[in-house]
């Protein structure tokens, strides 16, 4: 409501701020648009080889084609399914481990230094090993995604639990909260901002891992789609796959931001700015 | 905890506090050395002293947040070995939980019918209608009011105040003094107020104790009728002078 009234005052006074806000809304899109146009022209005039770098309109056509024959949806769903199973397993374990080590000193002593050591191994370096262990089926890919998302969730959950204001914890114990209530009402909500940061990192790792895992061995998924297209020199489909990955990543980020905005309403930093000074 | 919530509005009276030959040291640092203090039930005691004089330690011992190195701390004749539901502590900072609304902060221990009780207590401290606000939008004085309501909601028999008004501006502080005096008069709990503001001590307390280097340097009664609105009362001024000399 405040937003509306502020905007109302602004339009009543002068038209200038309106144009300004229109400009600031469009400005970020200017550069990509110009690039697209230049790209299109370059591809059409043969300045770049269309076979290596097809024009945007060709990619759009490939998008339309794969949308109509259902293959795009099929591969996207296959990838998304893997991504979320991996996220559920790795993220769930990371969350539980983070809470446990954050709350309980012996668990930290036992667990944390090992985790910090293993964390520094690039998990994609495990691919040869994972193929030996699980073969090239579904388990291998889900395993890799799980490992990829485990660490960011674990580290940020641990950090969030650890950095809760000890004064509030002391207050809670003076006011008679038992351990269960303390964890449920004080520690977990207090660690939530940090956990959500971990989730956003994890989502990035999730798609990254999946791209690599699917290009190695798959019969479906966006990674398979692009590798298959490469075999037949369908550069437009390869680029389409890359764009789909980018969009999926962006979508995941938008969703987490929305979640943040919703569950962190209490946090001054996340409160929607109410009008403010122009 | 649950039994307490039943008689919130009533005058539950207070419990006596007794410290005998209490020693408290942190490592080699001796904060309190063979300390004796008797606080009768229902008394409003102010403890004045310089910072580092052991005031907060004294309060934390009574609250059960620290264990004495030696001697006995007892409440209503029973030794203190943990934090008790009948004892409530107001900290220097309000210590509200930022991700809980005002009413949830007040009813922090939940318990039966907590919303109704919390609502009534909030009205009691003058915060009617602010139940669903987030703590971050409140002013310093309002936060301490919420903290006070949180302490009062379980009808404590002892209220411990660790300089809770120290960070407030002068006008808000006077408002809080009047509020606290009114509630204390109505409920009759035993109160221990830690402060370095001598005027605050004389304005509120029945008795003022000056703590210096872990021992009592002065122990006087403030025999002025309530409510004490006359700031320039010559008797109060004289008491303040005597306390200041002892600090």
A239 and A112 fall within a common domain: yes
Whether residues A39 and A151 share a domain: the answer is: no
What pLDDT, on a 0 to 100 scale, did the predictor assign at position A271? 66
Could you give the percent of chain A with pLDDT greater than 70?
Answer: 91
For residue B227, the number of C-alpha atoms closer than 13 Å in the C-beta half-sphere is 13
A8-22, A208-222, B56-70: range with lowest mean pLDDT: A8-22
Number of domains comprising chain A: 2
pLDDT at A13: 46
Same domain membership, residue A131 and residue A77: yes
Lowest mean pLDDT among A15-19, A66-70, A136-140, B234-238: A15-19
Residues A150 and A260 in one domain: yes
Across the interface, which of A168, A185, A266 has its CB nearest the CB of B95?
Answer: A168
| pLDDT for B5 beyond 50 | no
Size of interface A-B (CB pairs under 8 A): 51
Kindly tell me if the per-residue pLDDT of A12 is higher than 50.
Answer: no
Provide the pLDDT for residue A249. 87
Interface ipTM:
0.83
Which chain B residues touch A190 with a CB distance below 8 Å? 97, 99
Q: What is the pLDDT of residues A232-250, one digit of tens each?
A: 989 999 999 989 988 898 8
Is residue B120 pLDDT above 80, yes or no? yes
Question: In the prediction, which pLDDT does B7 show?
Answer: 38
Question: Are residue A89 and residue A163 in the same domain, yes or no?
Answer: yes
Mean pLDDT of the region B23-27: 90
Topology classification of domain B11-97+160-246: Rossmann fold (3.40.50)
Q: In chain A, what residues touch B121 (CB-CB under 8 Å)?
A: none
State the pLDDT at residue B230: 65
Residue B91 contacts A, CB cutoff 8 Å? yes
- State whether A266 and B99 contact (CB < 8 Å): yes
d(CA B106, CA B120): 10
Same domain, A40 and A60: no
Residues paired with A226 in a beta bridge: none
Residue-range definition of the domain harbouring residue A89 = 56-270
Determine, for residues B97 and A175 on separate chains, whether the beta-carbon distance falls below 8 Å: no
Residues A17, A101 share a domain: no
User: With an 8 Å Cβ cutoff, are B91 and A171 in contact?
Assistant: yes
| pLDDT at site B185 | 92
Residue A49 belongs to some domain of the structure: no
Residues in chain A with CB shorter than 8 Å from the CB of B114 are none
Name chain A contacts of B154, Cβ cutoff 8 Å. 176
Long-range contacts at A38-47 (CB < 8 A, ≥ 24 apart):
none
* pLDDT at residue A277 is higher than 60: no
Question: Which residue in A has a C-alpha nearest to residue B102's C-alpha?
Answer: A266
Whether residues A35 and A111 fall in one domain: no
pLDDT attached to residue A8: 40
Q: What is the mean pLDDT of residues B22-27?
A: 90
**Is A192 within 8 Å of B99 when comparing Cβ atoms?**
yes
| A167, A181, A190: residue with CB nearest B95 | A167
Mean pLDDT of chain A: 86
Q: Tell which of A160, A166, A266, A269 to mutate to test the B interface (max B CBs under 10 Å).
A: A266
Q: Are residues A123 and A238 in the same domain?
A: yes
Task: Please tell me whether residues A27 and A103 are part of one structural domain.
Answer: no
> Does the pLDDT of residue A275 top 80, yes or no?
no
> Do both A64 and A177 map to the same domain?
yes
pLDDT band for B54, please (50, 70, 90 cuts).
confident
**B26 interfacial to chain A (CB closer than 8 Å):** no
CA distance A161 to chain B (A): 15
Interchain pair A177, B93: CB under 8 A: no
pLDDT band at A126 (very low <50, low <70, confident <90, very high): confident
Segment B169-177 shows an average pLDDT of: 90
- The answer to whether residue A275 sits within a structural domain is no
Higher pLDDT, A218 or B202: B202
pLDDT tens digits, one per residue of A81-116? 999 999 999 999 999 999 999 998 898 888 888 888
Q: How high is the pLDDT of residue A192?
A: 94
Stretch A193-219: mean pLDDT, rounded?
89
Got the DSSP string for A232-250?
A: TT-HHHHHHHHHHHHHHHH
- Per-residue pLDDT at B4: 38
In a domain, A144, yes or no: yes
Confidence tier at B231 by pLDDT (50, 70, 90): low
- Does residue A79 carry a pLDDT above 70? yes
Q: Are residues A68 and A23 in the same domain?
A: no
Percent of chain B residues past pLDDT 70, beyond the cut: 94
The confidence score (pLDDT) of residue B162 equals: 93
> Which residue of A175, A187, A192, A263 to mutate against B (max B Cβ within 10 Å)?
A175
**What is the average per-residue pLDDT within B148-154?**
93
Residue that has been written with the tokens 């697209």 in this structure:
A36
pLDDT confidence of residue A11: 43
DSSP codes of every residue in chain B: -TTGGGGSSS------EEEEEEEEEETTEEEEEEEEEEE-TT-EEEEEE-TTSSHHHHHHHHHTSS--SEEEEEETTEE--S--TTEEEE-SS----TTS-HHHHHTTT--TTHHHHHHHHHHHTT-TT-TT--GGGS-HHHHHHHHHHHHHTT--SEEEEESTTTTS-HHHHHHHHHHHHHHHHHH--EEEEEES-HHHHHHH-SEEEEEETTEEEEEEE----SS---TT-HHHHHHHHHHHHH-
Residue A51 lies in a domain: no
Q: Does residue A277 lie in a domain region? A: no
Average pLDDT (B96-115) is 92
């Amino acid at each position: 409501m405040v937003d509306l009234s502020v905007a109302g005052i602004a339009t009543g006074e002068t038209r200038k701020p309106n144009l300004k806000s229109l400009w600031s809304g469009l400005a970020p899109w200017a550069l990509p648009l110009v690039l697209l146009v230049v790209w299109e022209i370059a591809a059409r005039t043969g300045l770049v080889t269309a076979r290596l770098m097809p024009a945007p309109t060709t990619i759009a056509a490939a998008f339309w084609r794969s949308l109509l024959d259902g293959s795009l949806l099929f591969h996207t769903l296959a990838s998304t399914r893997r991504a979320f199973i991996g996220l559920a397993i790795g993220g769930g374990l990371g969350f539980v481990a983070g809470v446990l080590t954050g709350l309980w000193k012996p668990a930290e002593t036992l667990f944390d230094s090992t985790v910090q050591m293993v964390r520094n191994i690039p998990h994609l370096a495990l691919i040869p090993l994972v193929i030996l262990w699980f073969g090239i089926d579904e388990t291998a890919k889900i395993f890799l995604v799980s490992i990829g998302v485990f660490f960011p969730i674990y580290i940020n959950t641990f950090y969030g639990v650890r950095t809760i204001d000890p004064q509030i914890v002391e207050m809670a114990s003076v006011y008679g909260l038992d351990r269960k209530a303390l964890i449920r009402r004080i520690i977990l909500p207090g660690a939530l901002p940090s956990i959500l940061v971990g989730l956003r990192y994890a989502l990035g790792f999730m798609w990254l891992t999946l791209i690599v895992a699917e290009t190695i061995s798959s019969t479906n998924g966006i990674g398979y789609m692009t590798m298959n297209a490469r075999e037949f020199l369908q550069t437009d489909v390869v680029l389409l796959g890359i764009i789909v990955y980018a969009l999926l990543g962006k979508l995941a980020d938008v969703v987490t931001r929305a979640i943040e905005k919703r569950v962190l309403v209490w946090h001054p930093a996340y409160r929607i700015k109410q009008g403010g000074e122009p | 905890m649950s039994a307490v919530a039943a008689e919130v509005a009533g005058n539950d009276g207070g419990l006596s506090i007794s410290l005998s030959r209490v020693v408290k040291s942190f490592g080699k640092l001796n904060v309190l050395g063979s300390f004796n203090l008797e606080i009768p039930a229902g008394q409003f005691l102010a403890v004045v002293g310089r910072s580092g004089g052991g005031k907060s330690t004294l309060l934390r011992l009574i609250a059960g947040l620290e264990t004495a190195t030696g001697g006995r701390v007892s409440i209503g004749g029973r030794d203190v070995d943990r934090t008790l539901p009948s004892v409530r502590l107001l900290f220097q900072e309000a210590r509200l939980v930022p991700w809980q609304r005002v009413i949830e902060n007040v009813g922090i221990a939940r318990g039966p019918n907590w919303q109704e009780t919390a609502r009534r207590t909030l009205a009691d401290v003058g915060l009617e209608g602010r139940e669903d606000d987030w703590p971050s939008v409140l002013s310093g004085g309002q936060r301490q009011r919420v903290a006070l309501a949180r302490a009062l909601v379980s009808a404590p028999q002892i209220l411990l105040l660790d300089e809770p008004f120290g960070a407030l501006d002068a006008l808000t502080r006077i408002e809080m003094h009047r509020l606290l005096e009114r509630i204390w008069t109505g409920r009759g709990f035993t109160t221990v107020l830690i402060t370095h503001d001598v005027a605050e001590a004389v304005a509120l307390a029945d008795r003022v104790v000056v703590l210096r280097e872990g021992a009592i340097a002065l122990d006087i009664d403030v025999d002025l009728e309530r409510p004490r609105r006359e700031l320039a009362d010559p008797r109060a001024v004289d008491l303040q002078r005597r306390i200041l000399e002892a600090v």
